[in-house]
Amino acid sequence: MSAEHATNTCQTDPTPKEHLILALDYGVKKMGMALGNTITETARAFDILAMDNGQPDWDNLLGIIRIWGVTQVLVGLPLNMDGSSSMLSKRAHKFARRLAHRLMERHLPVKVKLCDERLTSVAARELAWEQGWIQDPRDPIDDISACILLSTYFSDPNSAIAISAIKAE
């Protein structure tokens, strides 16, 4: 099922899948998505959502989470190379808090975590070139970045911080 059809094609509540993670490569113009499986520790590119100045189509995003039965969302935190916060990382924090709040409002038992995403875009672009997945340097790789974010998380799950443990900035 494609992301666009997630909110329109199924009205029943699917069973939450404890092993399913949705990774989000947050951006102001677009957001990459990947689905991960904690049992096999694998990830696959899922979709790239258009963003309106850092805001998604909330109904679509929440519908994807509900329909797929995701129980954990991993939001990439774009830190500076020295580990300090950037303007975009502050926006990613705010987005993650809003997502957690909206999930709670819809009674969806989904954990939202932030995970350092430094250099995922660089690695994604290199991988996409090597594999022939892109033909132009401007081709989107946000969904591949989200896969790499998941790989980072699988190698060290303790690197992610639950939104409930983070103070609002």
Cβ-in-10-Å burial (0-12, 13-18, 19+) of 57 comes to: middle
Map residue 135 onto helix, strand or coil: coil
User: pLDDT value at position 166?
Assistant: 53
User: pLDDT value at position 12?
Assistant: 52
Give the CB-side neighbour count of residue 137, counting CA atoms within 13 A: 1
User: pLDDT value at position 101?
Assistant: 94
Categorise residue 69: left if φ over 0, alpha if ψ from -120 to 50, beta otherwise. Answer: left
| Cα→Cα distances 19→40, 61, 70, 72, 161, Å | 9, 19, 8, 9, 18
The pair of structure tokens assigned to 2 is 């494609």
Distance of CA 7 to the CA centre of its chain: 18
User: pLDDT value at position 13?
Assistant: 59
Categorise residue 54: left if φ over 0, alpha if ψ from -120 to 50, beta otherwise. Answer: left
Non-local (6+) Cβ contacts of 66 within 8 A are 6, 13, 14, 106, 108
Domains of the chain: 3-165 (3.30.420.140)
Give the CB-side neighbour count of residue 48, counting CA atoms within 13 A: 11
Contact (CB, 8 A) for 121 and 97: no
pLDDT < 70 stretches in the chain: 1-14, 16, 118, 164-169
The angle, 0 to 180 degrees and rounded to 10, between the axes of the packed helices 58-68 and 87-105 is 60
User: pLDDT value at position 10?
Assistant: 45
End-to-end CA distance of the chain: 37
